[in-house]
Structure 1
Amino acid sequence: MHQINMAIDKSSIKLYDCKDSKYIQIKQMSYIENGISKTWDIVSSHDSASILIHNIDNNSIIIVKQFRPAVFLRNNNGYMYELCAGLIDKENKTIDEIIKEEVLEECGYYAESVTKIAEFYSSVGTSGSKQSVFYTEVKNSQKIASGGGIDNECIEIIEIKVDEMQDFLKQDNITPSLGFSFMWFLSNKKAK
């Protein structure tokens, strides 16, 4: 799998107000509920898609590990295990095309077909963004690139044997969509 040096220079970290972002917008909404005036702060963000990748030749699941600054602020670590994922921010591409592109960029596999297994809202208290979760099966012959992300992304590719999935869920640095997808796979796809 794709191994990278994953080290954050903690002395380089600076925190400042976000004045302009291509990823989020900070808004405030006022409304009346049951006759009471209320105000709510919202972080408007793009919807996203993630995908559970099953390598059927190796009987393994392909996930990624990457640094998440917002998590780092909470626990001083920030490295998360997650599904391969991306923002739905390309107007000229379908969600299926976007997630297939992410599989190639992050994990190096050509995903011939993808199946949507769920769609839900995440961060409902702040952003309300929607995440679509997909599933795909790949073979070793479909590994056509090294993966690891594009531009300056630092993404480590992790391969987990299907028989080790249940134990892997005990970690505290996994995302909800990874946990959901692992449980979906164990309930619906794993040979019984």
Structure 2
Amino acid sequence: MEDVKDVYISPLPDSPYVKPFRLNYTQNGKKKNWDLLEVHDSVAIIVFNVTRRRMIFVKQFRPAIYFNSIQPDDRHKPIDTEKYPASLGIALEMCAGIIDKKLSIEEIAKEEVLEECGYDVRLEDLHKITSYRSGVGVQGSLQTFFYCEVTDDMKTEQGGGVDDEIIEVVEMTIPQIEQMINSPGPICSPPSCLFALMWFLHYKADKYRK
């Protein structure tokens, strides 16, 4: 996962995932504009193993986090990966995925749990909690948040993603989650993950504390 090299920055060609554009509008009589990104909506799933009382996370290299760890003066040349090791871009997240198939959001969530975490959950095991807007400064895409409980018997695959994804499955106890939430940071997890953990600690954790 951390074997990253030959890093450099180039212009963005046409992309199936990110489409930059400018929105022009008039607000209170004043002409304005705002630069935005069109991206896919997504799902995110809290996966809690009730057999061993462990939260299931995924860890992966996130280029956006890595890029923002590089000093601006060093971005215009090949990146020195000794000065900026790949570990700077490793994020701990909930299982998640973009909505880019003609499936229901529950079916996409089920698929992501199997591919990333290795658990074969039923559609009825997935409980929709809420939906919210992410990246409201530049994208405002909709993410739908699910919760599911799994057992060791439901682990049918290794997990770790598909195609060229490099994902590590990570487990944490409830005390470890609380320690993470109370960390002074910076925490290399998206706000949606921290929101999900706070939701879990508020609504579910007491049932599984030892």
Asked if TM exceeds 0.5, the reply is yes
Is 1:9 equivalent to 2:4 in the alignment?
yes
Is 1:127 equivalent to 2:142 in the alignment?
no
- 1:72 — aligned with what? 66
**1:55-76 Cα shifts (integer Å, max 9, x gaps):** 0000110010001101101115
- 2:29 — aligned with what? 35
- 1:85 — aligned with what? 96
| Structure 1 unaligned spans of 5+ | 1-5
Percent of counterpart pairs with the same letter? 41
- 2:81 — aligned with what? none
Counterpart Cα distance in 2 of 1:15 and 1:57:
45
Report the alpha carbon displacement of residue 35 of structure 1 after superposing the two structures with TM: 0.2
SS in structure 1 of the partner of residue 177 of structure 2:
helix
> Which residues of 2 match residues 1-192 of structure 1 at below 5 A?
6-10=1-5, 12-76=6-70, 77-91=88-102, 93-112=103-122, 113-169=125-181, 170=183, 171=185, 172-191=187-206
Counterpart residue type for residue 81 of structure 1: L
Counterpart residue type for residue 158 of structure 1: V
Report the alpha carbon displacement of residue 8 of structure 1 after superposing the two structures with TM: 3.5
**1:137-166 Cα shifts (integer Å, max 9, x gaps):** 000000000000000100000000123210
- Alignment coverage as a number of residue pairs: 185
Cα contact 2:2–2:61 (8 A) shared by 1: no
Counterpart residue type for residue 91 of structure 2: M
Cα contact 2:44–2:146 (8 A) shared by 1: yes
Report the alpha carbon displacement of residue 191 of structure 1 after superposing the two structures with TM: 2.0
TM-score, L = length of structure 2: 0.85
SS in structure 1 of the partner of residue 192 of structure 2:
helix
Counterpart Cα distance in 2 of 1:191 and 1:121:
28
Counterpart Cα distance in 1 of 2:54 and 2:180:
12
Report the alpha carbon displacement of residue 168 of structure 1 after superposing the two structures with TM: 1.9
Counterpart residue type for residue 30 of structure 1: N
Counterpart residue type for residue 57 of structure 1: T
Counterpart residue type for residue 115 of structure 2: E
Counterpart Cα distance in 2 of 1:182 and 1:123:
19
- 1:3 — aligned with what? none
Counterpart Cα distance in 2 of 1:118 and 1:42:
24
SS in structure 1 of the partner of residue 120 of structure 2:
coil
Counterpart Cα distance in 1 of 2:96 and 2:27:
36
Counterpart Cα distance in 2 of 1:27 and 1:8:
34
**1:89-112 Cα shifts (integer Å, max 9, x gaps):** 112x00000010000000000112
